[in-house]
Amino acid sequence: MSEQSDIHHSKFLVDRNHSKEEKERKMVKKKPHVSLQGKKPINTAKKKSAIMRNPSHINNKLKRNEVYGKYLQQKRDEKKRTRLLRDKEAEALGEDKDGGKPKAAPKTLDNTRELEPTMVLSDPEIIADEADDEFARYFQSDTPPKVLVTTRPRPSKRLFHFIADLQRLIPKLHFYPRKGFSLKEICHFASNRDFTHVIILSENEKYCNGMTISHVGKIDNDTLGPTAFFKVSNVVTSQNIPNHGASTAHIPELNLHGFGTRLGHRVGRLLGSIFPHDAEFQGRQVVTFHNQRDYIFIRHHRYVFEEKKNIKQNKKKSSDKDEPEKPLGIKDRVKARLQELGPRFTLKLRWIQSGAFDTQFGEYEWIHKRKEMDTTRRRFHL
C-alpha cells in the first residue's frame, strides 16, 4: 500500500509542476517579430462600437431620460469617430475627403416633405379662378381695403400695444372698442359701413393667442367672405425689438412667400387683400408673410442703401510710391441692409369658413383635425 501511495503522490507532484509550467508559459508575453525592431505591433482588427441599447425599454421615466442622454452622446461620438477615420483613410489614399463627389444637401423637413396633390404649379384653370374670386378687385384694381380691428371683451393693456403696432403695419386700420357686441353683430356693423375686413383679437393670460380675419366686403349687396381663424404666438411688439426703426405713413410693399397649395393660395390672397397694392416705394418698407411648415411668420422691415464714395483710398506707407486711386466696384460702392420696424408674430391656420363669420350655420372650407392630418411630420397643407 505504501508503494502505491508513493506512486500516486509522485504523479500528483509531476502533474502540478506541468500545470505550473503551462501557466507560466501562457503568462509570458510573446516577443514581437525581429522586423519590427522594437516597435509595437499594430492591431488591425476593427473594434466594434460599444453603443448601449436604446433605453426605450426602461419603464422608469427619470432613469430612461438619464440613460437616453448618454445614449445620444455615444451616438454622436461614434459618428464623429467614423467621420474622422474616413477622412484619414481618404487622405492616405490621396483622395478628397468627399471622394471627389459634390457634398450632398442635408435632409430637412422642408426638402423631404410629402407631395401634396393640391400643389399649384402653373395651371391656367387655377389662374382663371383666382382672377374671378372674392379678392380679385384688390389685386387687379386700385380698390383700397378698409379694415376694422377689435378685441375680446375687457382686453388687457398689453393687447392695446399690439393693436398700435398693427395700425402702423396695416394702412387704413381702424380700431373700435368691443364693448358688449357679438362677433356677428360686429361683422354686420362693419359691412354696412363699407369696411372690407374685420380682425378680432383674442388673448389668454394677457397674451394675444388668436386672430380671426373675416372678409365682409359686398358686391351687389352679397357678403363675400371667407373667414379664417389663426392661432397667434411669439408676439413681439416694436418697443421690445432691439434697434428697431420707426415706420412711416407710406404704403408698404407686400411679399407673400411659401404658399404653394390651393389652400395656401386661398390663405395668402386673404392676407394679401388686407393691404393696398399701390406701394409707395420711396418709403422702402416691406411687409413679409413667410410660410414655412404651415407656420406663417410676419415681419416688417425697411431696406436701407448705404452708398460709399466712388474712390477707394489706398493705404500706403511713407516709403511707397504714389499709386493711382482705384474706383470702387458696384458691390463695394453700395451696401444694402434691413432695419426691422415691428411688430413680429406667427400665425397658424386652424379653420377657414366660407362667407362671413357664423359659427352656427357657417360652412367650413377647411378645418385642422390634428389626429387625422398630423400623422407625419413631413405633411404640410399650405
Q: Which amino acid is at 229?
A: F
Q: Quick one: how many helices (H) and strands (E) in the chain?
A: 9, 15
pTM of the model: 0.70
Superfamily of structural domain 124-309+327-373? Brix domain (3.40.50.10480)
**106 pLDDT above the threshold of 90:** no
Q: How far is CA 95 from CA 83, 84, 117, 351, in A?
A: 15, 14, 44, 55
Strand, coil or helix: what is 64? helix
Residue 9 in grid coordinates = 503522490
Question: What are φ and ψ of residue 6, in 5° steps?
Answer: -65, -40
Quick: pLDDT tens for 265-295. Answer: 999 999 999 999 989 999 999 999 999 999 9
Question: In the predicted model, what is the mean pLDDT of residues 258-264?
Answer: 91
Position with higher pLDDT, 234 vs 45: 234
pLDDT at 126: 82
Domain ranges within the chain, ordered by starting residue: 55-92, 124-309+327-373
Mean of the per-residue pLDDT values for the chain?
82
| Three-class secondary structure of residue 171 per DSSP | coil
Q: pLDDT per residue over 112-143, tens digit each? A: 888 888 888 777 888 888 888 888 888 887 77
Query: For 149-174, what is each residue's pLDDT tens digit?
Result: 999 999 999 999 999 999 999 998 99
108 or 36: whose pLDDT is higher?
Answer: 108
The residue-averaged pLDDT of 185-214 equals 92
Give residue-wise pLDDT tens across range 24-61.
665 555 565 656 655 565 565 555 556 788 888 899 99
Percentage of residues in the chain with pLDDT exceeding 90?
43
Q: Rounded to 5 degrees, what angle do the CA atoms 242, 245, 247 make?
A: 140
Contact present, 339 and 306 (Cβ < 8 Å): no
Compute φ and ψ for 341, nearest 5 degrees: -105, -30
User: For the chain, what percent of residues have pLDDT higher than 70?
Assistant: 77
Average of pLDDT values for 215-220?
80
